[in-house]
Each structure stands twice: as structure tokens, then as C-alpha cells.
Amino acid sequence: MKKSKNYSVLGLSLLLLISCSKSDEPVANSMTLHFNNTFKDNTIILGSAASAEASVNTSASGQRHHFSELRYVISNIRLVKVDGSEMPYHIADLDKGAAVIDQSKPATLDFELTNIPSGTYKQIKFGLGVQSALNTLDQVRFPTFYAIAGANDTKMMWEWGTGYRFTKIEGFYGTDNQTLSIHTGSTVEGTESDPSSYVQGVDAYRDIVLDLSTHAIVGQNAPRITIKADFDNLLSGKTNTISLGDGNATPNVHTARNMTLYVDNLGGDGTTDLTGMFSISAVAN
């Protein structure tokens, strides 16, 4: 007993030593992603149907619209160095590597990436939504993200499909402020080649690839990258021009009938358009 006590004390001292040496490393191995949700160049102000303050946008087909709720999930963040090497940021851990960006909660508009290797980064990749393999509402594996997404004032879950909502937009359109309610999410599960795991459905996850015209330099300072998400694209996107009406403005988009049109506008079509509504507006080193 006595002997093992001594060993333990030794072990503890070692641990303490290790902890100390860790804090000697460079100080600024972090980076902040700031999401600026806009209609064209103007940051969105949310508002109820009768709101005088809410930002009103007009679509390519002439429909006025504004939002009362605006949320989306980002995950699968990867940073690409100038030499082309890719630094995945907790891509298999939704608790650390995913976030719900919520326009009504300013704190959620800044997502801080920590413990990033020093270096010069030329590109950022991330996903709008959650990849199918992690999109299972697994509270045991990811209790933090599950709690954030499932909160009563967030509601970013499709319980029936055991998956997360990727985008949730509530608002109003037209001269008489009709309701718009656009939700996106994946219903597909497993892989098509394996019938025992495969659930037929829609893949609403989109990979976003953005070049950093000003490189982000991690090491001395903590860069802040401002990512613009221009929701003008929702109805007037690069892929689809959408006119809201009975068949597509309210939750029947849950149905996924028209969902892909919105998904392609917001997150790109996954092949030729890998930016969707996103662009880099500033890199501050």
C-alpha cells in the first residue's frame, strides 16, 4: 500500500509538470467565425408580422418578405492551410464541432475554434446541416448539442425522423403578411449499397467551400473571419428562383417536396455551387 501511494504521488507530480509545460505554448491558437446574416448587404433584423423594424427583402419575383426566426446548423468545419493540408475541427463531435447559429441570440453568431495548429490558412470548409452518419439525435454521444438543438426556443429537431433540422426560418410574405415557414433537414440514413442500414430519403446536408482572399494567420493573433450568409438567396438563389404560394410557403416543405429547392439556394447544389448563400466578407488577423 505504502509503495503504491508513493507511485501515485509521483504520478501526480508528473501530471502537474505536464500541465505546466502545456501552458508555455503560443497563446493565440484560436479563431472566431462570425456569421453575419443579411438580406443582400444589410444585417437582418427579425420581427413579428406587424413589426416596423424588421428588415424587409424583395425577391426576384417581387415578393416582399421578412423573418421572425432564423436559425441554421453548421458542422464539419475544416481549415485548409496554404500548403493544402486540411485541419478537421472536431468533425466527428457535434458537441465541440457544431453550432446552431440563431439570429435572435447574438452570442451564437460568433463560433470560436480553439486549439488550432499555428499556420496560415487559405480556405475554410464547413457543412450547412449535419452529415447523415451523425444526424441521429444521439443524446448519449452529444448531450450538449442535443440540448442546444432541442431547447424549447430553438426546436432544431425532427423527432419523427430522428434527425436535426438544418435550417428553420419563420416569417411573413406578401402584402398581407402570409406565413412562411421553411424547414430543411435530411431524411436519408445509411448507405444505399447496404439495404440493412439504408433509409431512402433526401440529403439536405451541403458542403460549403470558401476561399480566404486574406489568409488567416493563426499563432500570434486570433483571426476573426466574417462569413456573410445572404438570405436574399432563399427565394432568389443561384440555382432556383422561388415564388412563395400555397404549395411551398408553409410547412409542407417539411414534406421535402419543395425543400431541395431551398436547400440548393442556401447551401449550393453540392456540385457546381459550393458556396450557396455564404461568402467571406472580412478576415481580421
**To the nearest whole angstrom, how small is the minimum distance from the Cβ of residue 64 to another protein?**
22
Q: What residues are paired with 210 via a beta bridge?
A: 124
Shortest Å distance, C-beta 75 to another protein: 20
Nearer to another protein, 48 or 139 (CB): 139
Q: Does 20 bind another protein (CB under 8 A)?
A: no
Q: Does 157 bind another protein (CB under 8 A)?
A: yes
Residues paired with 249 in a beta bridge: none
DSSP 79-95: EEETTS-EEEESTT-HH
196 binds another protein (CB under 8 A): yes
Stretch that binds another protein, among 4-12, 39-47, 68-76, 116-124 (CB under 8 A): 4-12
Smallest distance, another protein to C-beta of residue 32, A = 31
Which stretch in 3-11, 40-48, 55-63, 167-175 sits in contact with another protein by CB under 8 A?
Answer: 3-11
Look at strands 224-230 and 31-39 and give their pairing. parallel
Q: Measure Cα distances from 259 to 136, 236, 282, 285 in Å.
A: 20, 15, 31, 38
Strand pairing class (110-113; 31-39): antiparallel
Per-position x/- string for 109-148, each x denoting binding to another protein as judged by CB under 8 A, each - no binding: ----------------------------xxxx--x--x--
**Secondary structure E strands in the chain:** 31-39, 42-43, 57-58, 64-81, 86-89, 99-102, 110-113, 119-128, 157-158, 163-164, 167-173, 178-184, 206-218, 224-230, 278-284
Residues that bind another protein (CB under 8 A): 1, 4-5, 8-9, 12, 137-140, 143, 146, 150, 157, 159-162, 181, 187, 189, 195-196, 198-202, 250-252, 254-257, 259-260
